[in-house]
Amino acid sequence: MKIISYYLPQYHEVKENNEWWGEGFTEWVNVKNAKSYFNGHNQPRIPLNNNYYDLTNVETLRWQAQLANKYDVYGFSFYHYWMGGGKQLLQKPAEILLKNKDIDINFCFSWANHDWMRTWGSKEKTLLMKVEYGNENEWKKHFDYLLPFFKDNRYIRIDNQPVFTIYDPKGIENGVEMIKFWQKLAISNGLQGIYFIYQNNEFHQHQDDELKNLFQRGIEYQPGKAFTKFNNSPAGYYKRIKHLLADKLNIDSKNMKLTYDYDEVWKEILNSKPASKNSIPGAFVDWDDSPRRKERGSVTLGVTPEKFEKYLTLQLENAKKNYDSDYIFMFAWNEWGESGYLEPDSKNNYEMLEAVKNALQNTSEI
């Protein structure tokens, strides 16, 4: 089995974030400003040796690649923010990786094709930047940007086709036409096609239609899929009402926060059946988005490296038995603002990475 970890490129300054969130903003600002909201709340999270890195430094990417290889993480799925109309965001780290062929890491793109909204630490949603899909001219511009990455020897391929994940296929205006157009461009540029994968869990439930049939696979994105199951249950509904009251009344109590038990979340993941015959299983390290959403965040309780290793081992075994896939998509390599990271921190050091290596070894011996 191969583990692909989602990779957040928001650890360097960009003009737009400085305008929206204040001068000098990167994801580290949220991480450093995090607070502990109840007794035992594991915040703030601190990178090992205070390594608040800058992803425009090529040595950071080189270090990350070496770390991933050492602990058997197969590759990174870079979040890709093509907003259209000549705009994209946070593209520099992937471009640095492309330029530096000596950085030994497999990678692919996950197009986060959603509008950027002001929701962090705010009760009101404000549109910051909208995704514009445009027509064939825009689609070709986007494809031409991606082509050098697709042709890179490190780019992840399935069936000899570069993998490209799309967060929300239904959100694409004229999505069928766009994907067919891209497939034609891929063939005409010497590729054997593009291996399209969708990420949005809700897309599993759509009836077979022309758009869905253009995707070879769908990811069971975790812990989102498990959270949805909990949130839609009577107990989950009650918990969300309490969370809403806590928000409205500014009550700071653990019992009034939206919390999930780590063991129960993993139990749901392990016991659920594949969403479809083409599903790719998911896994997660941890979850706590209070650095971004503050008192309105949600938190997973009871996380330890030992539990993570145990559950990941079981998920790898589950994937071998019940899924027709050689891959697992992991949340995440460096989502520090949502506490989903494999990178070493001051509490667990390298134990989460060691858990990945151990789980893979345990499964390979079965």
* CATH at 45: 3.20.20.80
Number of structural domains found in the chain: 1
Residue 313: inside a domain, yes or no?
A: no
Domain enclosing residue 106, as ranges: 2-221+280-293+327-347
Q: Which of 325, 258, 312 is nearest to 285 (CA)?
A: 312
Residue 65: inside a domain, yes or no?
A: yes
At 296, list the tokens. 């309105």
pLDDT at 243: 67
Contact status, residue 279 vs residue 204, Cβ threshold 8 Å:
yes
pLDDT at 253: 52
Residue 361: inside a domain, yes or no?
A: no
**How far is Cα 366 from Cα 354, in angstroms, rounded to an integer?**
19
Residue 6: inside a domain, yes or no?
A: yes
**pLDDT tens-digit readout, 20-65:** 999 999 999 999 999 998 889 999 999 999 999 999 999 999 999 9
Contacts of 202 by beta carbon, 8 Å cutoff, 6+ apart: none
Given a cut of 50, the residues of the chain with pLDDT beneath it are 255-256
Residue 304: inside a domain, yes or no?
A: no
Residue 170: inside a domain, yes or no?
A: yes
pLDDT at 229: 87
Residue 80: inside a domain, yes or no?
A: yes
Residue 249: inside a domain, yes or no?
A: no
pLDDT at 47: 98
CA distances to 32, 73, 107, 302 from 81, rounded to whole Å, are 24, 23, 16, 33
pLDDT at 208: 63
